[in-house]
Amino acid sequence: MIVRTFLIAALLAATPAAAETIPGARIVIIDGDTVALPGGERLRLLDIDAPESFRSSCEAELVAGLKTKERLRQLLRDQDVTIERSGRDRYRRTLGRLFTEDGDVGEILLTERLALPYVPGRKAERDAHWCGSRR
């Protein structure tokens, strides 16, 4: 009996949380890789790094950040959005993926070259990508 209870508990712990679907109009776009969900929960898109639209390192990054933010708004607007959560980051934001009928929103931003694959601790490389040698 104890072994069976342990196995059931282990299986439940290993099972990802159920996905949640909400109308995209209820999601507030913070920047190209972060949104606020109803209730105030902040979600950072997993595995992408979008240019900053707030505290950007240069004007080119600001322009790219605003473009990415607008594209994210277009992808979510007037769509049902499925949220798959996957832990938290060091800023206590939820990490996760957003899906619409068009697919994984983060993957779309990567494919359209509006975001980079996320690599932790590479600020200098991100700055060089968005700002080039003119910082």
How far, CA to CA in Å, does 3 sit from each of 16, 21, 33, 43, 122? Answer: 22, 35, 43, 37, 45
Beta bridge partners of 103: 100
Query: Integer distance in angstroms from the first to the last C-alpha of the chain?
Result: 65
SS3 category, 95:
strand
The pLDDT, as a whole number, for residue 126 is 79
Other CB atoms within a 10 A radius of the CB of residue 126 amount to 18
| pLDDT confidence of residue 41 | 95
Composition of the chain by helix, strand, coil, percent to 5 = 35, 25, 35
**How crowded is residue 66: how many other Cβ atoms within 10 Å of its Cβ?**
17
User: Helix (H, G, I), strand (E, B), or coil: what is residue 20?
Assistant: strand
pLDDT at residue 135 in the model: 45
Query: 34 — phi, psi (to 5°)?
Result: -140, 135
pLDDT in tens, the chain (135 residues): 554 544 444 444 444 556 899 999 999 999 999 999 999 999 999 999 999 988 899 999 999 999 999 999 999 999 999 999 999 988 899 999 999 999 999 999 999 999 999 988 777 687 888 898 654
Q: What integer pLDDT is reported at residue 54 of this predicted model?
A: 86
Q: Alpha-carbon distance 78 to 75, whole Å?
A: 8
Query: What's the confidence (pLDDT) of residue 132?
Result: 85
- pTM, entire model: 0.81
